[in-house]
Amino acid sequence: MATYKLIAKETLATTATSVAFSSIPQSMDDMVLIVSAREAGNAAYSRVLFTFNDPPQSTPISFRYLYASDVGGGTYGAGSGSGTTNVISAYGVAQDYNTTANVFGNLEVYFPNYSSSSVNKSWSWNGNSENNAVNPQIIAVGAGLWASTSPISKLTITTPAPSGFAVNSSFYLYGIKKA
């Protein structure tokens, strides 16, 4: 049976544009990032971006994602995309400042074999933004590959929202030891 161990956590007492988990222990097999976030200012739904180790990445990151907008209204599979970049993006998970007060979007990212030095680094994610009303605004899933065998020793989470993450946005990083 797999065992989850909390590696690090951060709950914002003030607004911030980034959160970094440095010196990630290499004693676990897999890693999970859990984010509950809201934008601090007046902007549309924002992505949560993350980078490995010390950016910029010298090896490109490829990804695919699928999102549905206005899920309650029946518009499923509204969009998708793929590409290559040096920054990983998870769409629709930093809650819009203009939605219901104290409601946060959610994101979970799974990193298998993050500490291995013999395999490329892949991940999968799912996220949603909620407005505490009839229709959720965005639900998205995605996967990606960093074509590098470097172990992940640092993870930096940012948002393109100019005002950053709101107070009480929380970030949890867990290591998973396989049985």
CATH of residue 54: 2.60.120
The predicted pLDDT at position 32 comes to 96
- Domain count along the chain: 1
- The one-letter amino acid code at 58 reads S
- Provide the domain limits for residue 13: 3-177
Sequence-distant (≥ 6) Cβ neighbours of residue 101 within 8 angstroms: none
Which single residue is written with the structure tokens 């500490």?
A: 115
- The one-letter amino acid code at 123 reads W
The predicted pLDDT at position 159 comes to 83
Write the CA distances from 19 to 36, 41, 63, 75, 118, integer angstroms: 13, 17, 22, 33, 28
The predicted pLDDT at position 139 comes to 66
Helix (H, G, I), strand (E, B) or coil at 74: coil
Q: Pairing between strand 30-38 and 170-177?
A: antiparallel
Max Cα distance, the chain (Å)? 47
- How far apart CA 78 and CA 72 sit, in angstroms, is 13
- How far apart CA 133 and CA 135 sit, in angstroms, is 6
Do residues 12 and 176 touch, judged by C-beta distance below 8 A? Answer: no
Indicate the burial class of 47 (C-beta count within 10 angstroms; 0-12, 13-18, 19 or more): buried
Both tokens of 53, joined, read: 């180790």
The predicted pLDDT at position 13 comes to 98
Both tokens of 73, joined, read: 């209204």
The predicted pLDDT at position 72 comes to 45
Query: pTM of the prediction?
Result: 0.85
Using 50 as the pLDDT threshold, list the residues of the chain that sit under it.
70-76
The predicted pLDDT at position 163 comes to 83
Helix (H, G, I), strand (E, B) or coil at 109: strand
